[in-house]
Amino acid sequence: MAILRKLTTKATTQINTGFGINNSDYGGRFINKDGRPNIEKRGISYFERISWYHTMLQMPRWKFLLILFLFYILINLIFATVYYTIGMEHLEGIKANSTAEKIGEAYFFSAQTFTTVGYGRISPKGVTSSTVAAFEALIGLLSFAIATGLFYGRFSKPKAFVRFSENAVLAPFNNGLAIMMRVAPYKNNNLLEAEAKLTAGIIVEENGVPKNIFFALDLEYEKVNSLTLSWTIVHPINEKSPFYTFTVDDFANTKGELLFFFKAFDDMFSNTVVARTSYTLQELVIGAKFVPMYHRNNEKNKTILDLDKLNTYVDADISHLWQTGKKEERM
């Protein structure tokens, strides 16, 4: 209730984020670090609630390539088994004697048919094997068309190509305090009209019932014309901030989350790209400040952006900035 009393003066800044207000029905954080909502959907079958197209576009590159490779191996094993079951005498040109050699020949004939290469040494003989080969060729054409579309979708999908700092920090700012986090582009793309929004989700108890309260946080700068270097997002803790009356213990003991939404225009894609992440209040480093990420080169004719310093910070003394007496009056 103490936290709730501190937040009621900021009630006019509360917003509806779509996450709901009843915390007793909510588990974990609102948004995962990778930007995806921390939601598991149930009530319908797995295949109904999964979009295979979106899944294949979003999965990591190594997993995408592994699935394509395993599908290629598996589909050829299935058709090789079918050819072997029909009878190897229905495949003309096979000169193998052992069972292993015959299965191998059937597998490579399947691979040639699936890819429509058709070297000609082995060919189907009879209606049954010819029908299976024709069907496999059709499956191969459709499979390569789908794989090509997925490859194009993955390459052409607009993506922000930005990285966020792993932690947010509570740092000195203009003779006061501010919550800060960083974002930086890591590809050779050009992001214009970059925009940031920061929302605080704080869990409080009202009449013994956990409740989610969301606040739109004011930022020092909400937009920049071009994001070429790192951008430190700054929320000054002033009279308009829901954290204005917070103490160190409040930050440590309050359950809450900072939701960071990023949007920019990529002139290469000619499209708007978005990204998001979140920081729990336990991931907020109290009394720290980020170290600079960019500097001039030795020749002083170019700016160097050190992406490995995105989450690098040093300790900062903020004990003299808490304004304890004023806070006690407001409490």
Return the pLDDT at 324: 43
Fill in the amino acid letter for 157: K
Residue 82 sits in a domain of what CATH number? 1.10.287.70
Q: Does residue 150 sit in the same domain as residue 177?
A: no
Q: Does residue 171 sit in the same domain as residue 152?
A: no
Q: Report the C-alpha gap between 299 and 302 in whole angstroms.
A: 8
Closest CA to 217 of 243, 235, 234: 235
Q: Residues with Cβ < 8 Å from 62, sequence gap 6 or more?
A: none
Q: Looking at the domain assignment, is residue 150 inside a domain?
A: yes
Residue 219 sits in a domain of what CATH number? 2.60.40.1400
Q: Looking at the domain assignment, is residue 286 inside a domain?
A: yes
Closest CA to 33 of 296, 257, 253: 257
Domain encompassing residue 211: 2-33+166-330
Q: Looking at the domain assignment, is residue 263 inside a domain?
A: yes
Q: Report the C-alpha gap between 32 and 174 in whole angstroms.
A: 31
Q: Looking at the domain assignment, is residue 47 inside a domain?
A: no
Number of domains in the chain: 2
Q: What is the pTM of this model?
A: 0.77
* Residue 69 CB burial class (10 angstroms; 0-12, 13-18, ≥19): exposed
Q: Does residue 194 sit in the same domain as residue 288?
A: yes
Q: Looking at the domain assignment, is residue 209 inside a domain?
A: yes
Q: Does residue 186 sit in the same domain as residue 295?
A: yes
DSSP-assigned beta bridge partners for residue 186: none
Q: Looking at the domain assignment, is residue 38 inside a domain?
A: no
Chunked into runs of 10 residues, the chain (331 residues) has average pLDDT values of: 52 58 64 79 80 88 94 95 88 81 88 87 87 93 94 88 93 91 92 93 76 88 92 92 86 88 90 92 92 90 91 88 48 39
Give CA separation, 35 vs 165, 188, 202, in Å.
Answer: 13, 22, 18
Both tokens of 324, joined, read 């304890």
Q: Does residue 118 sit in the same domain as residue 22?
A: no
Q: Looking at the domain assignment, is residue 41 inside a domain?
A: no
